[in-house]
Chain A
Amino acid sequence: MTAQTIAVPPPARASGAGALQRLSTWLYRHPRLALAILLAPPLAWLGIVYLGSLLALLAQSFFYLDGFTGLIVREFTLRTYAELFTGSNLDIILRTTVMATVVTLACALIGFPIAYYMARYAGPRLKPLMYLGVMLPLWSSYLVRVYSWKLILAKEGIVTWIFAKLHLLWLLDAILSIPVIGGPSLSTAYLGTFLVFVYIWLPYMILPIEAAIERVPRSVIEASADLGAPPRSTFRHVVLPLAIPGVVAGSIFTFSLTLGDYIIPGIIGSSRPFIGQAVYSHQGTAGNIPLAAALSVVPIVIIAIYLRIAKRLGAFDAL
C-alpha cells in the first residue's frame, strides 16, 4: 500500500524522541497489530489463568473418588453429580440457595431506597459523603468485620443489651424461638448469618443500582410527568424498569457472593455447612476434589438460570 511506503521526514528532535515517534507512527499505521499488543496480556490472563482454571475445575467434576482406595479415578462419569442429589448434599445446596435468595432480596429492599436517594436527591455535598458511607466498610478487613459482628450478636453483646435496656428481651427471645431461623443467640442462629451477609454485601447492591438510576435522564422523568403520570406512576413505569438492570447486576453480586462464601457461616450461625464450607472441606481434608468441583458448579448453574429468567422478564431491555 502506498500509505506504508511514504517516508515521513524525521522531525528535528533528539534521537530518543525520534525513535519513539517512529515507533508510534509505525503502530499508528498498523492499528490491528497495536490492538493485538494491547489486548494480548489481559486476554491471556482472562483466557488462560481465569477461564482455563475454571475449565480444569469443570473437568475435575466429571471424575470420581474411589471410596476404597481414596484415589481419584480419571475417567468420565456423572456419578459425582449424582452424589449432589443425596440427602446431606442436597440439604447444603438448598440451605445455601435459600440463604442467598433471601439475602439478595433483603439487600435489594434496603439498597434501592438508599441508591435512589443518592442518585436523585443527594446534593453535591451529600453525595460524596454517601458514597464514602457505602464504601467505607469495604476498606477494613472482612474477617475483622465478621468477628466484630460475632461480638455484636453474641448473647452478651450489644444487641442483647439494647433489647434488655428497652425491656424488649421477650421480643428477642420470641424471635430466637422461631424454628429454623432462631437459635440460642443471634450469633448462633441462621438469622445472625443472614444479618451479617446482608451487612457485608449491601455495598455491592447499592452501587450498581445507584449507577443505573443516575443514568436515567431528568428529561425522561419530566416527560412522564408531562404526559400526566403522577410520581408513583413515573416510578413504576419509567424509573423502576430503567433501574432493574442495576438491581440485576447488584443481585448477581450478592447472590453469587453468598453462594460461594464459607467464612461468614463458619463464624456466625448454626454451624450447619453451606456450599462454600462443603467445597472447602471436600477439597481439603476429605481429598474429594471431584465432589468439591461438582459443588462449585452448582452456583454457576443457578446464576445462569437466574440470568436466563431475568432476560426473559425483560430486565435487560433498557441496556
Chain B
Amino acid sequence: MTEGNLPAVRFVEVSRHYGAVKAVDGVSFEIADGEFFSLLGPSGSGKTTCLRLIAGFEQPNAGAVLIHGRDMAGVPPYERDVNTVFQDYALFPHMSVADNVAYGLMIRKVRKAERRARAEEMLEMVKLGGLGGRKPGQLSGGQRQRVALARALINRPRVLLLDEPLGALDLKLRQAMQMELKGLQRQVGITFVYVTHDQEEALTMSDRIAVFNHGRIEQIGRPGEIYEHPATAFVAGFVGVSNLIDGALAARLFGRPEAVAIRPEKIRILPEGAAEPENAWIADGRIRDATYLGAASRYYVTLDAGGEMVVIEQNQRTGASDTLAAIGRRVRLSGPLGEALPLAAERAA
C-alpha cells in the first residue's frame, strides 16, 4: 500500500478519560486524505477532545491515533504534521500579524526574507494583504480568524484541524467564511478536520460528518445520508429538527411498531377529511399553536392518536395572518411513507 492510500487520520478504539468522565469512549473512524471531515455534536460530546488527540495536546488512555499510518503514541504536538486553528484564535498578542503568520517558519529557521514573502503570500490568500504590520488587537474578529487560518496553513500541514473556528462570528460573516473555507480546502487540497456544534455548518461544508454524543460516534456519513437516513433518534434530533415517533405511536399511525423520525418539512397540512393520498401516511389532529418565521411557518399539531408533531410549511401563497388564523383548526397531516425514517434502537447511554 502506498502512503497516498493511507487514511490521513485513523482512530482505533480510542478512549480518553478524565477520572470517571469518559470524554472519548472507544471511538474508531478513518479520515481519507484530502477529505473535509466534520466532528459534529453538542458541547461535552467528545468532539473537541478528539481534535486535541489528533493535535497531540492529549494522549489517549486506550487505543491508537494514527496520522498517515504512523502511530502517534508519545509524539508531542511540535513533531506532528498537523496544524490547528483554535476556537479563540490564540494569536500571539505581542507579535505583529505578519510575525504571527510567519511563526512556524521562524521556528523552522527559514530565512527572514523568505519568511516575509511567504507570510505576505498567505495574508493575500486570506484577503488580509497589507495588514501584516498590525497587532492582533487592532483587528476585528473575522480578520483574526483569517490570521489564525493563515498561520496554521503556512507550514503546509497535511492535516488542518479547526476547532469551531467560526463560532465567534456573526451569522452573515459566518456564512461567507463557510464558503471561503470550503473553497480554500479545495484549493490547497489538504485534509480538514472540522469541529462544530452547528449542524447547518457541518451539512454545508463537509464531505463526511461524524455525529458525536456522550463520547461516542452515533453515525458517520455524507451530509445527505446523515440528514435523510439518521441512524439513531439522537442524530435525527440533533441534525435538523425531527418529529420522533416512538414504537407505540408508530403502530397506531403506520401499523408498524418501529420508531421513526419525520422531518417537519416532509409533512403536508391537508384540510380535515381530505382524501388519503397514495403511499402516504395520515394523522388527524388540531393545530395547537403556530409561529410565523418569515419564509415559512411552523405549526404544532396535537394528534388524536396521541403526541404532537411539528410541521413546517413554506409561505408561498400565505402570510402572517393566515398562520395565526390557522390556530385551533382541525387538520389532517400527511407525508410520503418513504420519509418516515426508521431509527435504530437507542443505545443505552
In the bound complex, residues from chain A placing their C-beta under 8 Å from that of B83 are 226-227
- Cα A226 to Cα B54 in complex, Å, equals 11
Assess whether B107 is in contact with A223, with CB atoms less than 8 Å apart: no
- Nearest B residue to A221 by beta-carbon distance? B90
Q: Is the pair A220, B90 in contact by a Cβ cutoff of 8 Å?
A: yes
Residues B53-82 near A (CB distance < 8 A): 55-57, 76-78, 82
Binds B, one of A80-88, A228-236, A248-256, A281-289: A228-236
Partner of A318, one of B57, B94, B107: B94
**For B90, what are the chain A residues with a Cβ–Cβ distance below 8 Å?**
217, 219-220, 222-223
- How far apart sit A318 and B91, CA to CA, in the bound complex (Å)? 12
A241 within 8 A of B: yes
CA distance A238 to B151 in the complex (A): 15
Contacts of B108 in A (CB 8 A): 228
B93 cross-chain contacts in A, Cβ below 8 A: 220, 242, 318
- In the assembled complex, B103 has its CB within 8 A of some CB on chain A: yes
User: Chain A CB within 10 Å — which of B87, B93, B108, B155 has the most?
Assistant: B93
The answer to whether B49 has its CB under 8 Å from any CB of chain A is no
Query: Which residues of chain B come closer than 8 Å to A242, judged between CB atoms?
Result: 93-94
In the complex, what residue of chain A is closest to B94 when comparing beta carbons? A318
Residues of chain B within 8 A (CB-CB) of A219 are 86-88, 90
B292 at the interface (CB under 8 A from A): no
**Given the complex, which residues of A lie within 8 Å of B92, measured CB to CB?**
220, 223-224, 237-238
Residue pair B57, A227 in contact (C-beta under 8 Å): no
Q: Give chain B nearest CB distance to A2 CB in angstroms.
A: 34
Q: Does B104 contact A (CB under 8 A)?
A: yes
**Residue from A220, A225, A314 within 8 A of B78 (CB atoms):** A225
CA distance A318 to B104 in the complex (A): 20
The verdict on B297 contacting chain A, using a C-beta distance below 8 Å, is no
Q: Is the interface of A mostly helix, strand, loop or mixed?
A: helix
Task: State A229–B109 Cα separation when bound (angstroms).
Answer: 11
Assess whether A226 is in contact with B107, with CB atoms less than 8 Å apart: no
Complex interface residues of chain B between 171 and 215 (CB less than 8 A to chain A): none
- A317: B residues at CB distance < 8 A: 94
Chain A proximity mask over B128-146: 1 for CB below 8 Å, otherwise 0: 0000000000000000000
The answer to whether B84 has its CB under 8 Å from any CB of chain A is yes
Give residues of chain A (147-190) contacting chain B, Cβ–Cβ below 8 Å: none
In this complex, what residue of A is CB-closest to B163?
Answer: A219
Known A-B contacts A226-B77, A318-B94; A217 and B88 likewise in contact (beta carbons under 8 Å):
yes
- Among B55, B87, B90, B94, max chain A CB count under 10 A is at B94
- Closest-by-CB residue of A relative to B99 is A237
B76, B82, B87, B104: most-surrounded residue (chain A CB, <10 A): B104
Bound: A226/B56 CA distance, A: 8
Mark A29-69 against chain B: 1 for CB-CB distance below 8 A, else 0.
00000000000000000000000000000000000000000
The count of residues in chain A whose C-beta lies closer than 8 Å to any C-beta of chain B is 20
Q: A241-B94, A318-B94 are in contact. Are A226 and B78 (CB under 8 A)?
A: yes
With A242-B94, A317-B94 as given contacts, are A227 and B88 in contact (CB-CB < 8 Å)?
no
- Least distance between B194 CB and chain A CB atoms (Å): 16
Residues of B within 8 A of A226 (CB): 55, 57, 77-78, 82-84, 152
A227 & B107 in contact (Cβ 8 Å cutoff): yes
- From B76, B151, B155, A225 is in contact (CB under 8 Å) with B76
Contact in complex: B88, A229 (CB < 8 Å): no
Considering the chains assembled together, what is the distance between the CA atoms of A230 and B107 in angstroms?
A: 9
Residue of A nearest to B102 (CB): A227
> A215's closest neighbor in chain B, by CB?
B93
Which B residues from 15 to 72 make CB contacts under 8 A with A?
55-57
Chain A residue numbers with a CB within 8 Å of B57 are: 222, 225-226
Contact A229 B84 (CB under 8 A): no
Tell me the nearest residue of chain A to B88, going by C-beta: A219
| Chain B residue with the shortest CB-CB distance to A245 | B94
Interface 1/0s, chain A 201-225, versus B by CB < 8 A? 0000000000000000101101111
Residues of chain B within 8 A (CB-CB) of A224 are: 92, 103
* Interchain nearest-CB distance for B22 vs A (Å): 22
Residue of A nearest to B148 (CB): A223
Residue from A217, A222, A233, A241 within 8 A of B77 (CB atoms) = A222
* Distance in angstroms between the alpha carbons of A314 and B106 in the assembled complex: 19
Asked if B94 and A227 sit within 8 Å, CB to CB, the answer is: no
Bound-state Cα–Cα, A128 to B9, Å: 42
Report the minimum CB–CB distance from B247 to chain A (whole Å).
46
Inter-chain contacts of A225 with B (CB < 8 A): 56-57, 76-78
Query: A227 vs B155: C-alpha distance in the bound complex, in angstroms?
Result: 8
List 15 A–B pairs whose Cβ atoms lie within 8 Å, in order of A's numbering.
Answer: A217-B88, A219-B87, A219-B88, A219-B90, A222-B84, A222-B90, A224-B92, A226-B78, A229-B78, A229-B103, A237-B103, A237-B106, A241-B94, A242-B93, A318-B93
Q: Taking beta carbons and an 8 Å cutoff, which residues of B are in contact with A? A: 55-57, 76-78, 82-84, 86-88, 90-94, 103-104, 106-108, 151-152, 155
Interface residues of A (CB under 8 A from B): 217, 219-220, 222-230, 233, 237-238, 241-242, 314, 317-318
The 6 closest A-B pairs by CB, nearest first: A219-B90, A318-B94, A223-B90, A227-B104, A225-B77, A229-B107
Known interface pairs A220-B91, A222-B84; 19 further A-B residue pairs with C-beta atoms within 8 A, sorted by A's residue number: A219-B88, A219-B90, A220-B90, A220-B92, A223-B90, A224-B92, A225-B76, A225-B77, A225-B78, A226-B55, A226-B77, A226-B78, A226-B83, A227-B104, A228-B78, A229-B103, A229-B107, A237-B103, A242-B94
